[in-house]
Chain A
Amino acid sequence: MLGFVARRLLYLVPVLIAVSLLTFLIASLLPGDLAYTILGDQATPEKVAALRQEMGLDQPIWVRYFGWLGNILQGDLGRSFRTGQTVLQAVTERLPISLELMVLAQVIALAIGVPLAIICAARSGGPFDRFMTGTAFGMLSVPTFLSAILLIYLFAVELRWLPATGYVPFGEDPAKNLRFMVLPALTLALAEWPGIMRVLRSDMIATLQEDYIALAKAKGLKASRILFVHALKPSSLTLVTITGINIGRLIGGAVIVETVFALPGIGRLLVGAITTRDLIILQGVVLLVGAGFVLINFIVDMLYAMLDPRIRHGHA
């Protein structure tokens, strides 16, 4: 098992290098000169040239890449030329919001999707299964901005149970913080549970055809044990994969939901950096989000090995 973890960790190195290279290239290839952007329209060519020299923009691209990479390895991701805030400060300020949103959304989506998938698989083809499969299909086609607005209308405007927009840090007032987070998390979860339900349901149905399920029945085990112990574990590999992808996606923030609910998360930081052409923030955040995505995938691989001993022992 230790060898397996070490091997997987080694695989991460080239992936992370590729992520940094792509991030840097994309940021460098964006049209427009950074020096012009900083100095504004009225800048004289002399001033621009001086700034370019100062920032190293006159150097060849590979020199700039390795300079940037060297700084990163020393923990310096750069600093916004607009606010003066470092990338790390900006991210650590906003990451907890996006992470909380992501965790809450996943918990809600799994809490809805997993039990429904199990019930549907156990009674596949029955009226409940057909109703839920149809509902899930319908939910999949509802865009996030629409469900966000509908939820706000229902819970904030009509029922007045929850606030429509705003944010209070968790450390300041946990109860109030959760009140602000419920609707955005629910919005994301509504988009995600159908996917969870559909993949787990179809994997469960396939697993329930297996010989070892017939044997579990022949052993006289309780239906609940057959479903939760014998069938759920071998059926959850795809579920883990798509949950990993969902989490990875949400590390980069949920742009639409953060915007609609006015949450100062990573998503809005990125959008802000793009609209103000704050390239330093942009490439730093993209790099961190990419690294986070890679890390989540590493954790997913570890979960595979935990779920299926054949992967752990290198048989699969």
Chain B
Amino acid sequence: MTEGTLLSVEDVIVDLPTPRGNLRAVDRVDLTIGAGRTLGVVGESGCGKTMLSRAILQLLPKRAKLSGRVMFDGQDLLQLSPEKLRKLRGRSLAVVFQDPMTSLNPVLTIGTQLIETLQEHLELDMAAATRRSVELLAAVGIPAPEQRLMQYPHQLSGGMRQRVAIAIALSCEPKLLIADEPTTALDVTIQAQILDLLAREQRRRHMAMILITHDLGVVAGRTDEVAVMYAGRVVERAPTPALFKKMRMPYTEALLAALPKIDAAPHTPLPAISGRPPDPTRPLKGCSFSPRCRYAWAQCHVEKPRLEESNSPAHQFACFRPIGTGAGAGA
């Protein structure tokens, strides 16, 4: 663990027993994030990004098996007692879930849900906690915050609810915020607002943030580093500018190609990635992406490429036929 590292995920494996056999949701993932830095985790549905975030939070389903190490702020979260873990959660490790329609308790007021976190971790009295809740709601752009405290989640729009969820996550000034697809359930018009709010608060509070999304466009201008996940593995990892300048993994390229482009001619069909991700209960021998990869050759189908650095140590990828080596793009 290097100086300034806040979270390091080392060799993490998450196995879920299913009736069809063992499902390896996360397969030997290594990630680090420094204090105050932002990391984007990108991948399509089912690639294991949510399971990875749950593994960091220690909120996996009961039947899930987790192995590896999750070091946060100098402590191994897997070895922590439940009581110590509880004191850490919400205090220095916070999360915003995907769907604000289901992540707020429908029978408790906004105020209760904000104040309980403040009182749990900061030992504030009721008046101070209420004052701080109003400030927090105002900070995340909620109009008339005093009245909101008395309201229930169903009285707020989806965007407003996600702002409340963000206010709850920010309430105790966490060191790390995990935002798990925070805009997927929201209207397109609201998405940019919520992402900008997260980016602004992240900078203002010098908090580290993991932004999980299926949309490469979301992480483009908002993260320091990007990790691309496919079939439970990190397949490419690079500083954000380097990734967009020169992506090496064919899967990353395919993901980017699948984004609609603003300067494309009208009615241009979107290039979808053909095929489907592999069945996670039936692991492939070779590269998981090889059946869908247009560059794949014989080696890709029989051997799993490791995540390795190339000419630049910060840029890692798991591919035998990376783009731009002549073997990949030239083929």
Q: Using a CB–CB distance below 8 Å, which chain B residues touch chain A? A: 57, 59, 86-91, 94-95, 97, 99, 102-108, 116-117, 120-121, 152, 154-155, 165, 168
- Roughly how many angstroms separate A210 CA and B108 CA in the complex, as a whole number? 14
Taking a contact as CB atoms under 8 Å apart, the answer to whether B90 and A234 are in contact is no
A21 at the interface (CB under 8 A from B): no
Interface string of A81-109 (1 = CB under 8 A from B): 00000000000000000000000000000
Are A315 and B154 in contact, with the CB atoms below 8 A? yes
Q: Which of A191-199, A258-266, A304-312 lies at the interface with chain B?
A: A304-312
Asked if B97 contacts A220 (CB within 8 A), the reply is no
A222 to B83, CA, bound (A): 9
- With both chains docked as a complex, state the minimum distance between the C-beta of A235 and any C-beta of chain B, in angstroms: 10
* A214 CB, nearest partner CB in chain B, Å: 6
The 6 residue pairs across chains A and B that have the minimum distance between CB atoms:
A220-B90, A220-B89, A219-B90, A211-B102, A309-B152, A212-B105
In the assembled complex, the Cα of A233 lies from the Cα of B152 at a distance in Å of 14
Known: A210-B102, A219-B168, A315-B154. A234 touches B87 (CB 8 A): no
Cβ-closest chain B residue relative to A308: B107
Across the two chains, which residue of chain B brings its CB closest to A231? B105
Contacts A221-B90, A307-B107, A313-B155 known; 9 new A-B pairs at CB < 8 A = A214-B59, A218-B59, A220-B86, A221-B86, A230-B105, A234-B107, A308-B107, A309-B107, A313-B154
Residues of A contacting B103 in the complex (Cβ-Cβ under 8 angstroms) = 211-212, 214-215
Residue-by-residue, is A218-256 near B (CB-CB < 8 Å gives 1, otherwise 0)?
111110010001100110000000000000000000000
* A14-57 interface with B by 8 A CB criterion: none
Taking the closest CB of chain A, its distance from the CB of B48, in whole angstroms, is: 17
Asked if A218 and B94 sit within 8 Å, CB to CB, the answer is yes
Q: Is A216 an interface residue (CB 8 A)?
A: yes
Assess whether A217 is interfacial by the CB under 8 Å rule: yes
Contact (A212, B104) CB under 8 Å given A220-B86, A220-B90, A309-B154:
yes
Measured CA separation A234–B106 after assembly (Å): 8
Tell me which residues across on chain A come within 8 A of B105, comparing CB atoms. 212, 216, 230, 234
A222-B120 in contact (CB<8A) = yes
Tell me, in angstroms, the Cα distance from A309 to B109 when the chains sit together. 9
Residues of chain A within 8 A (CB-CB) of B91 are 220
Nearest CB on B from A226, distance (A)? 10
Complex interface: chain B residues within 8 A of A212 (CB): 102-106
Inter-chain contact A219/B120, CB cutoff 8 Å? yes
Instruction: Flag if B154 contacts A222 (CB, 8 Å).
Output: no
Show 18 residue pairs from A and B whose CB-CB distance is below 8 angstroms, ordered by the A residue. Answer: A212-B102, A214-B97, A215-B95, A215-B104, A215-B168, A216-B105, A217-B59, A217-B89, A218-B94, A218-B95, A219-B120, A220-B88, A225-B116, A230-B108, A308-B107, A309-B107, A310-B154, A315-B154
Within 8 A of B (CB), among A270-314: 307-310, 313
Q: How far is the CA of A214 from the CA of B96 in the complex (A)?
A: 11
- How many angstroms from the CA of A43 to the CA of B109 in the assembled complex? 72
Contacting residues of chain A (148-206) with chain B, CB-CB under 8 angstroms: none
Inter-subunit contact B107/A221 (CB<8 Å): no
Name which residue of chain B comes closest to A312, CB basis: B152
> Across the interface, which residues of A come within 8 angstroms of B152, CB to CB?
309-310, 313
Specify which chain B residues have a CB less than 8 angstroms from the CB of A222 in the assembled complex. 86, 120
Residues of A within 8 A of B108 (CB): 229-230, 233
Chain B's closest residue to A125 (CB) is B62
Partner of A220, one of B99, B104, B121, B154: B121
